[in-house]
Amino acid sequence: MNLLFDLSEVSVGKHWFWEIGGYEAHGQVLIMSWVVFAIIAGLAFAGNRDLKETPEGVQNFTELITEFIRDLAKTQIGEHDYKSWVPFIGTIFLFIFVSDWSGALLPLKLIEIPGEGAELAAPTNDINTTVALALLTSISYFYAGLNKKGLGYFKRYVSPAVFLLPINVLEDFSKPLSLSFRLFGNILADELVVGVLVALVPLIIPIPVMLLGVFTSAIQALVFATLAGAYIGEAVEDHH
């Protein structure tokens, strides 16, 4: 537990701390998370408030996203098990996608909270957010495996041979680490580069870097959601 608390204290840049239940939380990260939630909720409301048999406008856009997420889950998890996991995969993808774009499209690091000196940043710019998402993914694929196979799920650790037990256990510990640090490192690096370029040369030059950041941010959301689906698919897969 001490290792988890030490990891949660890792921070880059200036932060505005809130005291919640005796613990310190990065207030600006929570603020940006609520902004992301509001954007997703607003888009969902706009696309579903007046449903039509032939979709158009925002409804067409939201249905396109839904179909994309459904196909992603089906491909990674399998035709027989994917339906119940579409909401989870979709939530993970949309939250990371909108969070990443909030940092890629706007030089948030140049925006400070008045009186606090803290910098705004995309939620996925914070290691605590990415670790939380990775741990949720780990819990999800453990749950998926146990729910389908019961205690027989743990046979995978000694398959195809008992001596592979340490390697298989290490693999499960490495999955959340790789998920969280890959996302955190890419988003942090992109925001730092954009922030420095906007501060030094605010016209024209930062635009190509920001466009590249938009592309890489979308790729990071897709990679995270794809890996989450793949891990769940691996957990529920029937081995013969």
17-20/23-26 β-pairing:
antiparallel
pLDDT category at 4 given cuts 50, 70, 90 is very low
In the prediction, which pLDDT does 71 show?
94
In the prediction, which pLDDT does 191 show?
66
What is the pTM for the complete model shown? 0.81
Cβ neighbors of 192 (< 8 A, separation 6 or more) are 109
- C-alpha distance from residue 155 to each of 62, 168, 173, 191, 230 (Å): 40, 11, 17, 43, 19
Higher pLDDT, 113 or 220: 220
Residue 5 has pLDDT above 80, yes or no: no
- pLDDT tens-place string over residues 48-76: 888 887 777 888 888 899 999 999 999 99
Residue 43 has pLDDT above 60, yes or no: yes
- pLDDT tens-place string over residues 83-125: 899 999 999 999 999 988 877 666 555 566 655 555 677 788 8
Burial class (CB in 10 A: 0-12, 13-18, 19+), 4: exposed
Task: For residues 122 and 96, give the distance between their C-alpha atoms in angstroms, rounded to a whole number.
Answer: 9
Residue 240 has pLDDT above 60, yes or no: no
Least confident range from 2-16, 37-51, 82-96: namely 2-16
Within a 10 A sphere around the Cβ of 168, how many other Cβ atoms?
13
| Per-residue tokens: 100 | 């990443």
Cβ atoms of 195 and 161 closer than 8 Å: no
Average pLDDT over residues 149-172: 81
Closest CA to 92 of 180, 207, 8, 159: 180
Q: Within the chain, what is the greatest distance between any pair of CA atoms?
A: 62
